[in-house]
Amino acid sequence: MAHRPFSVFTQRDLDRIEPLSRLTPAQRFEMKVVSTVLPFRVNQYVIDELIDWSQVPDDPIFQLTFPQRGMLTDAHFDRIAALYQAGADKAEIEAAAHDIRLELNPHPADQMEMNMPRDAAGNRLEGIQHKYRETVLFFPSQGQTCHSYCTFCFRWAQFVGDKALRIAASEARMLHDYLRHHDEVTDLLFTGGDPMVMKTKHLQGYLEPLLAADFDHIQTIRIGTKALSFWPHRFLGADDADDLIRLLERMVKAGKHVALMAHYNHWRELETPAARAAIQRIRATGAVIRAQGPLIAHINDDPAVWARMWQTQVSLGIVPYYFFVERDTGARNYFEVPLARAWQIYREAMQQVSGLARTARGPSMSASPGKVEVQGVAEIAGEKVFVLRFIQGRNPDWVQRPFFARYDEQATWLHHLKPAFGEEKWFWEDEYAALREAKLAIADEGVSLAA
């Protein structure tokens, strides 16, 4: 496939995106306001190949990548709009945007306070998260952007230019030292941002040392990426695409299970010739592609969309993996879907596919205690309830244990739910509170020592 140069647009380039000229001045102003608070980045491939401009603004990929008025509350929108209309200077506008971002729960599920490990001296290991016993997340500094940004992204705070909100590490040695001393870890997940924005030589520097004997306990290398959707040419015609393919092959041949955790939100992302060629090339290395994504209002809140997406993934050799609930951060008021509706969409989608496509687990909430799955709605002893279980938990003993919440048609997240059957608290609640208190005490101690 012929090489295609990468061309990207950010907020300051909104006026250079030719198809936006079809929108009204008011619509373009709304985009400017919203993208002042929340990050915006899109590339020419997405504009040309994925968006149906005849269906804008309702087109799902347009909703996925371009700012929408409803992503901010009226109060937040009006504050920024008024500053622009009054001719405020850049510093004043940015200060207001910063204040608003802090109100949008920039780091949900206690990830800054509870997930980051510390070294022997008590220093927080920036760029590493270790929430679940078997799995470590690593945020390579060279991979903390994306080829395009998703409007709903729960890691939007990585991309707004505020170092205090950013999670990243640039030292491979720190990662390798940590893994060397934690042989309970079997899975390493490179995440971001998108690690596939990195040059292959940087990714190689993180990966190849893991082939040494002292990392035999690291069985699985996962790479979270949206590149298969937003820039499949990364695997085809990019300058170091061949080097990347050879790196994946070496990791697989050395005995590591390599999994690309591909983020898909709509079947259209799987339809282009470049996307299909990239999938085929990656699969030929022996790496597995697993697909995950959240249920998002305005984009994929339709069982037919999920059924078609899962069927297409299976036909291309991709394994459907997770059906997430939109996290409680950023523009959640625009994108969130009530849990009752999420379960219904999941159930109806599952009814339309064969067993090979029923590997997607969900609806799953990645909450602070763990990944909580809504298994269904039932009536037990005359009470209508949500049936829940932990897919993953801060304490492994919680995993697979069912528990029950009162049915609530409006609830969109775990903290909106109440225990069923007159119980005052969940079975895990006291232990979680103690774990959280201990972690926060360590975090506060670290802050005090630093001061």
**pLDDT (0 to 100) of residue 171:** 76
pTM of the model: 0.93
User: How far is it, in rounded angstroms, from Cα 244 to Cα 221?
Assistant: 14
Query: Residue 72: phi, psi to the nearest 5?
Result: -115, 150
| Residue pLDDT tens, the chain, 451 long | 566 789 999 999 999 999 999 999 999 999 999 999 999 999 999 999 999 999 999 999 999 999 999 999 999 999 999 999 999 999 999 999 999 999 987 776 566 667 888 887 778 888 899 999 999 999 998 888 899 999 988 776 777 666 665 665 667 889 999 999 999 999 999 998 899 999 999 999 999 999 999 999 999 999 999 999 999 999 999 999 999 999 999 999 999 999 999 999 999 999 999 999 999 999 999 999 999 999 999 999 999 999 999 999 999 999 999 999 998 888 899 999 999 999 999 999 999 999 999 999 999 999 999 999 999 999 999 999 999 999 999 999 999 999 999 999 999 999 999 999 999 999 999 999 999 898 887 766 654 444 4
Neighbouring C-beta atoms of residue 202, cutoff 10 Å: 17
Check if the beta carbon of residue 143 is closer than 8 Å to that of residue 170.
Answer: no
Residue 400: which residues within 8 A CB-CB, separation 6 or more? Answer: 389, 390
Query: Residue 293: phi, psi to the nearest 5?
Result: 180, 160
Domain ranges of the chain: 8-102
* Residue tagged 């720190």 (tokens): 174
Query: Residue 121: phi, psi to the nearest 5?
Result: -90, 0
Residue type at position 218: I
**pLDDT (0 to 100) of residue 172:** 86
**pLDDT (0 to 100) of residue 327:** 85
Question: What interhelical angle do 200-207 and 172-180 show, nearest 10?
Answer: 20
**pLDDT (0 to 100) of residue 85:** 97
Check if the beta carbon of residue 283 is closer than 8 Å to that of residue 313.
Answer: no
What is the 3-class SS of 43-96, one letter each residue?
A: EHHHHHHHCCHHHCCCCHHHHHHCCCHHHCCHHHHHHHHHHHHCCCCHHHHHHH
Residue type at position 263: H
Residue in 192, 206, 207, 183 with CA at minimum distance from that of residue 133: 183
